[in-house]
Chain A
Amino acid sequence: DGGITQSPKYLFRKEGQNVTLSCEQNLNHDAMYWYRQDPGQGLRLIYYSQIVNDFQKGDIAEGYSVSREKKESFPLTVTSAQKNPTAFYLCASLRDPTEAFFGQGTRLTVV
């Protein structure tokens, strides 16, 4: 079945540590997105990529980095520069023109 797979589902990070969240899709979509959702709040765009080897900052990119070496994969690294990383992270891909499909999300907690 086609879809988006995020892993891990739960992730714990120590202060000062970098962690990488995985996002893989087999939908053959060009555009992929990373969002962050905090409790009681909406989705905020971190980074997006319209095509392989290209990506742009979203509204809250500071403290995050991404890569897009393959069409299927769009990993997100939460760096130690991100001061408040505890959140629910959602990866999405876009079926033209604009229908978004989401992975099941990764809950990141700083311990």
Chain B
Amino acid sequence: RKEVEQDPGPFNVPEGATVAFNCTYSNSASQSFFWYRQDCRKEPKLLMSVYSSGNEDGRFTAQLNRASQYISLLIRDSKLSDSATYLCVVTGGDNNRKLIWGLGTSLAVNP
């Protein structure tokens, strides 16, 4: 089983749609969780951290379910500019300082 698993997609949605991605992780000791966004041929950029209580940033909502070991990302009112690959990241290794990356979920928002 991979340490971090994501549905690769692609997810094709119309503008204005709501779309959700899930990510499962295998290490119950993981302490920090993130969603990164990567545009084609660019470096990943932090979208948001994921907290146990859930957190929201504008149209984006992230949630963590420690019992089931998954995190989610919800995007409301999708924009064309949301088209990208979304990478799930969890921490692990010694002192929980190793970043373990999912392969990413591809999103295409269509006009």
Contacts and interface: CB of A to CB of B under 8 A. Distances in A.
Interface of A: 31, 33, 35, 41-43, 45, 48, 50, 88, 90, 94, 97-105, 107
Given A42-B101, A43-B101, A50-B97, A97 B43 contact: no
B87 interface: yes
B46 A99 contact: yes
A24 to B, nearest CB: 15
A50 B96 CA distance: 13
Interface string B89-100: 101000011110
B46 A100 contact: yes
B43 A104 contact: yes
Contacts of B89: 100
Interface of B: 32, 34, 36, 41-46, 49, 87, 89, 91, 96-99, 101-104
Given A42-B104, A43-B44, A99 B97 contact: no
Contacts of A35: 101
A42 B87 CA distance: 8
Nearest to A91: B43
Dominant SS at the A interface? strand
Nearest to B45: A102
Contact of A98 (B43, B87, B96): B96
Contacts of B32: 97-98
Contacts of A103: 43
Nearest to A4: B43
B33 to A, nearest CB: 9
B99 A100 contact: yes
